[in-house]
C-alpha cells in the first residue's frame, strides 16, 4: 500500500525514480510509473510527441505487430474507472495533440502533468495511459527473422526433403538451398502445383515467412514442413 502522510517511504520512491505519488480525494495514493518494463525501454532525457501527447521517448521491446495487439488488449481490459471516460481518452489518443486537448477539456478530463500519461476525471479518479499507447517508439525490437537476416551471411547449405503442404493437396518435397528466397520457393511451388490466378504465402513455425528473406533466416532443418496458404485471386 502507498504511504498517505508524506512519509520517508514516499520520499524514497521519488528518489528511486519510480514516479510521483498522487493523492486521491479519499487520501489513498497512486504512483505514476512511467515505464511498462514488459514492452517499453524509456530513453533518458528524450521526448516524443507534443502538447498533451508529449511523453518520454522509448524503444519497444516487442515487434510492431505485437505492439498493435498489446494496445488492443489494453483498451479491451480497462475495468476500473468510468467506461465513458476511457472512450474519451481513447478518442484523444487517436487524435492530433491539438484535438486531443480539446476532446479532454470538453469531457472535463484533466492531465496531472500536462501529459496524457495520467488523466483524471471530474471526480479525480486517475486513468494511467502507457507511453506506448500514446506514441510510437523510436524503434521496434527486430523480429527473429530480421535479426538473423541482418547478420553476416552464413555458408550455403542444403535443406533436404523439405515438404510444402497446403490443404487438399499432396505434399510437395524439395531439396532447397539456404540462399533461396521465400519468394523463389513460393513461385516454384505454385508453378509445380499449377496454381494459376492464385496468390499465396508460406508459413513456418507459426510465422509468416517474409518473401524477401533467404531460407537461412528461418532455422529450417531437413524434413521440416512449410505450410502454404493459397488463395484464388
Set of cell numbers at residue 176: 532447397
Does 66 reside within a domain?
yes
Dist. CA 102–CA 99, nearest whole Å: 5
- Give how many domains the chain has, as a whole number: 2
Same domain (yes/no): 173, 202 = yes
Residue-wise pLDDT tens digits, 125-173: 999 999 999 999 999 877 666 766 666 778 999 999 999 999 999 999 9
Q: pTM score, two decimals?
A: 0.52
Does 27 reside within a domain?
no
Give me the torsion for CA of 60, 94, 65, 230, rounded to 10°. Answer: -170
How confident is residue 29, by pLDDT bands cut at 50, 70 and 90? very low
Does 23 reside within a domain?
no
Domain boundary among the residues 82, 108, 140 is at: 140
- Of the listed ranges 50-54, 113-117, 150-154, 160-164, the least confidently predicted one is 150-154
Dist. CA 205–CA 27, nearest whole Å: 52
Q: Which residues contact 112 (CB under 8 A, 6 or more apart)?
A: 22, 32, 118, 119, 120, 126
Same domain (yes/no): 118, 174 = no
Does 20 reside within a domain?
no
Same domain (yes/no): 44, 130 = yes
Residue-wise pLDDT tens digits, 63-110: 888 899 999 999 999 989 999 999 999 999 999 999 999 999 999 999
Do 161 and 173 touch, CB atoms closer than 8 A? yes
Same domain (yes/no): 168, 216 = yes
Cell 524509456 identifies what position? Answer: 42
For 166-171, which contacts have Cβ atoms below 8 Å and span 24 or more sequence positions? 166/193, 166/227, 166/228, 166/229, 166/230, 169/193, 171/225
- At residue 149, the pLDDT reads 64
- At residue 144, the pLDDT reads 65
Does 72 reside within a domain?
yes
- At residue 197, the pLDDT reads 85
Compute the mean pLDDT over every residue in the chain, rounded to the nearest whole number: 84
Dist. CA 41–CA 137, nearest whole Å: 9
What beta strand segments (E) does 129-171 contain? 139-140, 158-165
Nearest to 41 by CA among 146, 134, 132: 132
Interval 12-21 mean pLDDT: 35
Same domain (yes/no): 70, 158 = no
Same domain (yes/no): 177, 78 = no
Domain boundary among the residues 106, 140, 174 is at: 140
Percent of the chain with pLDDT over 90: 63
Domain boundary among the residues 140, 155, 176 is at: 140
Same domain (yes/no): 49, 102 = yes
**Helix H or strand E segment including 118:** strand 118-120
Does 168 reside within a domain?
yes
Same domain (yes/no): 71, 87 = yes
Does 11 reside within a domain?
no
Same domain (yes/no): 126, 163 = no
**Range(s) of the domain holding residue 205:** 147-232
Do 148 and 177 touch, CB atoms closer than 8 A? no
155: domain CATH number is 3.10.20.90
Does 164 reside within a domain?
yes
Amino acid at each position: 500500500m502507498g504511504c498517505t502522510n508524506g512519509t520517508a517511504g514516499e520520499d524514497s520512491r521519488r528518489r528511486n525514480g519510480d514516479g510521483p505519488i498522487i493523492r486521491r480525494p479519499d487520501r489513498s495514493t497512486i504512483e505514476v510509473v512511467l515505464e511498462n518494463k514488459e514492452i517499453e525501454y524509456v530513453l533518458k532525457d528524450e521526448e516524443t510527441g507534443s502538447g498533451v501527447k508529449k511523453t518520454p521517448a522509448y524503444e519497444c521491446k516487442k515487434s510492431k505487430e505485437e505492439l498493435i495487439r498489446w494496445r488492443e488488449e489494453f483498451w479491451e481490459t480497462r475495468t476500473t474507472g468510468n467506461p465513458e471516460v476511457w472512450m474519451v481518452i481513447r478518442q484523444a489518443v487517436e487524435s492530433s495533440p491539438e484535438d486531443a486537448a480539446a476532446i479532454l477539456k470538453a469531457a472535463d478530463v484533466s492531465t496531472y502533468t500536462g501529459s496524457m500519461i495520467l488523466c483524471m476525471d471530474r471526480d479525480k479518479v486517475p486513468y494511467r495511459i502507457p507511453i506506448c499507447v500514446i506514441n510510437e517508439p523510436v524503434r521496434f525490437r527486430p523480429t527473429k527473422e530480421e535479426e538473423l537476416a541482418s547478420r553476416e551471411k552464413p555458408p550455403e547449405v542444403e535443406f533436404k526433403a523439405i515438404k510444402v503442404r497446403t490443404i487438399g493437396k499432396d505434399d510437395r518435397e524439395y531439396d532447397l538451398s539456404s540462399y533461396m528466397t521465400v519468394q523463389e520457393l513460393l513461385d516454384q511451388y505454385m508453378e509445380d502445383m499449377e496454381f494459376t490466378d492464385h496468390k499465396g504465402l508460406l508459413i513456418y513455425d507459426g510465422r509468416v515467412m517474409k518473401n524477401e528473406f533467404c531460407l537461412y533466416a528461418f532455422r529450417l532443418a531437413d524434413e521440416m514442413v512449410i505450410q502454404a496458404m493459397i488463395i484464388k485471386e
